[in-house]
Structure 1
Amino acid sequence: MGNVTSNMAAKFAFLPPSPATYGVSKDEETGKLMFTGVTPEKSMDVHQITTKSGNKVIATFWKHPFARFTLLYSHGNAADLGQMVELFIELRAHLRVNIMSYDYSGYGASTGKPTETNTYHDIEAVYNCLRTEYDLKQEDLILYGQSVGSGPTLYLASRLKRLRGAVLHSAILSGIRVLYPVKITFWFDIFKNIDRIRHVTCPVLVIHGAKDEIVNMSHGKRLYELAKDKYDPLWVKGGGHCNLETYPEYIKHLRKYINAMEKLALNNPTTKQQDDDEPNVNETKHNRCLRFRKK
């Protein structure tokens, strides 16, 4: 029974667009990877990163010249990077942040198969790329998880103790809890966010639509209740599961959160010792958005 339910939750959790909405090629002159349909003046780097699972995932880094923070964005389960381009351009401009995003294994031009474990390996590899390629510190990183992307987001956030912040957008309590109103966590559940949120030490912003028919707002409210360091949540009146970005209060509230994190950074500057102690997560043990199908 457990395996059947777990497999069903996993099946509904991953719906990669087929075919992929973009392609990746190599520039003959520079040898750099290029993202189909995005011109160089967009200030976007393309990476192909090998994970612990041996998969090669595609990641894009959108640079802002005056960015204080970098957003590591984990998208929903029915999207790939090609569908996220316009959103990333808007977020970069309005929030004045760099944005690193990636396609899970089996999505877009990333190799492998989409599984819960692979998403964890994916985000670990992308985080390490940020550290090595861009010299990024935890204190300058904000994790952002949309829908099923809240799974890898909270997985990593629970491990990084000096992380600047985390945003949970239409997040889930767990995979099975989207399908059934269970009160306990079963061993065969996937994306056990309800347990991991308790280990996150950075300020957490929860955003959820009041009319979300895919992931009930009760998921967002419970995650907010369980967060140790709560930031003012945003409950979007009339908002559904896939349209929160269209509401003006969405970007306004995100900007307010980013400003608050900047003030926090000024009051708690990074020390040299903290820089030297920066861990490598690989050394530890192991839109568009979510569309769970209900009966």
Structure 2
Amino acid sequence: MKFNYDIIQYSTYILSFIVGISGFIIYKLQNKIIYAANCPIDSRKFTYTPKDFEMDDYEDLDIKTKDGIIIKAFLVKKFVDDKKTRLAKTTLIYFHANAGNMGHRLPIVKSFVEEYSCNVLIISYRGYGFSEGQASEEGIKIDAETTLEYIFKRPDLKDSKIVIFGQSIGGAVAIYLAAKNQDRIHGLILENTFLTMRKLIPNLIPLLTPFTFLCHEKWESEKELLKFTYKMKDKNGSENFLPILLLSSELDEIVPANQFEELCQILRNTRREASTQKEREIEESLNREQYIPEQILVPEQYNVFWYRFDNVHHNDTCIHPEYYNCIKNWWNKNIEDCY
């Protein structure tokens, strides 16, 4: 019995040591895992430029953040006159997903510029592409705030209608920035994003589920969603919530479908609680008229628009034939025609 007890005791020590070391490694290396700036290979050594995709009207920017980091950005311009003296009245801020750099998203940028006649400002987060620094939640939030302030400091952009667009982890960045600036922006587009990083980890790496408490890059979007109660006046003087478009992929293998759906429900429930009884009755009436059986969620409620694209995954949503049409319909109704 003594022999067996010793084996059990030593095994427990070894297991505890392995668990402790594993936890330490996960804690220290999580930034490199979450922020895949080197994927694809050479993403920190090479960046496509707008010119590579036949966009000649652009600026290659160095933007200095309040903590002294230089981040790289492209401002792709949309001129509305032949002499190229007047810029489009809407500017989109684009926050990309966790891998690669801003250059990998330029085909999507081009479609936005051409389809929606807007300027696009896209950044490489700190630690990505040719930007300085190391990626972290705290740092990327500073990058996002700096990007918005940059627009308001430019004479040719400061009066723009601002739309913020975020994909995947970029959606968490967009939620954070929009929640703080609801009175300064005009729209928010979120694609395949999550509630919190800690809730996402079990879906990505089930073996790490017991260690989620060690995740310090929290990105707690579900808390930020509770702030979206601000009402803005449209050009007719009517008060409405900030328009938000949620784009979901049916076969998303990264963000569980139920997590993005819950995000939508939190937004809508938050706004429902902030609405009057009359406004609630109107919303319920509209829902009965607009409900589409194929959709998992009601397509529109409290100015939160939901659309799910069939047969596409987390990273190829934009190839769906209805992708740009869906955004354009929302854009025309809520950005061009409202403000």
TM range (shorter): 0.7 to 0.9
Residue 314 (structure 2) pairs with residue 259 (structure 1): no
Residue 250 (structure 2) pairs with residue 210 (structure 1): yes
Task: State the one-letter code of the partner of 1:142.
Answer: V
* 1:61 paired residue among 69, 72, 75: 75
Counterpart position of 1:190: 218
Counterpart position of 1:28: none
Are 1:9 and 1:176, in contact at CA under 8 Å, matched by a contact in 2? no
Are 1:212 and 1:240, in contact at CA under 8 Å, matched by a contact in 2? yes
1:115-173 deviations in Å (ceiling 9; x for gaps): 00111011111111111125545871011110000122111111112221111111111
Counterpart position of 1:72: 93
* 2:201 paired residue among 179, 201, 211: 179
Residue 267 (structure 2) pairs with residue 239 (structure 1): no
**C-alpha distance in 2, partners of 1:176/1:233?**
24
Are 2:35 and 2:98, in contact at CA under 8 Å, matched by a contact in 1? yes
Are 2:43 and 2:100, in contact at CA under 8 Å, matched by a contact in 1? no
The structure that has the greater radius of gyration is 2
Local SS of the residue matching 2:313: coil
Task: State the one-letter code of the partner of 1:242.
Answer: N
**C-alpha distance in 1, partners of 2:112/2:313?**
20
**C-alpha distance in 2, partners of 1:95/1:36?**
17
Are 1:139 and 1:164, in contact at CA under 8 Å, matched by a contact in 2? no
Are 2:44 and 2:130, in contact at CA under 8 Å, matched by a contact in 1? no
Q: TM-score, normalised by structure 1?
A: 0.77
1:237-272 deviations in Å (ceiling 9; x for gaps): 12210001001211011001111122221xxxxxxx
**C-alpha distance in 2, partners of 1:189/1:75?**
17
The 10-residue stretch of structure 1 (237-246 or 138-147) with the greater mean CA deviation from structure 2: 138-147
Counterpart position of 2:162: 141
Are 1:9 and 1:179, in contact at CA under 8 Å, matched by a contact in 2? no
**C-alpha distance in 1, partners of 2:27/2:157?**
36
Residue 92 (structure 2) pairs with residue 52 (structure 1): no
Are 1:10 and 1:190, in contact at CA under 8 Å, matched by a contact in 2? no
* 1:169 paired residue among 191, 200, 204: 191
Are 1:23 and 1:36, in contact at CA under 8 Å, matched by a contact in 2? no
> Equivalences for 1:7-156 in 2 at 5 Å?
10-17=31-38, 18-20=41-43, 35=49, 38=52, 42-66=56-80, 67-137=88-158, 140-156=161-177
Cα 1:40–1:170, aligned 2, differ >3 Å: closer, same or farther? Answer: closer
| CA drift at 1:69 | 1.5
Are 1:81 and 1:108, in contact at CA under 8 Å, matched by a contact in 2? yes
**C-alpha distance in 1, partners of 2:50/2:57?**
14
Q: TM-score, normalised by structure 2?
A: 0.68
Counterpart position of 1:271: none
Q: Indicate the RMSD between aligned Cα atoms, in angstroms.
A: 2.8
Cα 1:135–1:197, aligned 2, differ >3 Å: closer, same or farther? Answer: farther
| CA drift at 1:3 | 8.1
Paired positions, count: 254
| CA drift at 1:68 | 3.2
1:25-76 deviations in Å (ceiling 9; x for gaps): xxxxxxxxx9585489621111101112321100111111243311100000
**C-alpha distance in 1, partners of 2:28/2:71?**
23
Local SS of the residue matching 1:242: coil
Task: State the one-letter code of the partner of 2:196.
Answer: S
Local SS of the residue matching 2:138: helix
Q: Which has the higher contact order (CA 8 A, sep 6+)?
A: 1
Task: State the one-letter code of the partner of 2:94.
Answer: Y
Q: Between the two proteins, what is the percent identity of the paired residues? A: 21
Local SS of the residue matching 1:42: coil
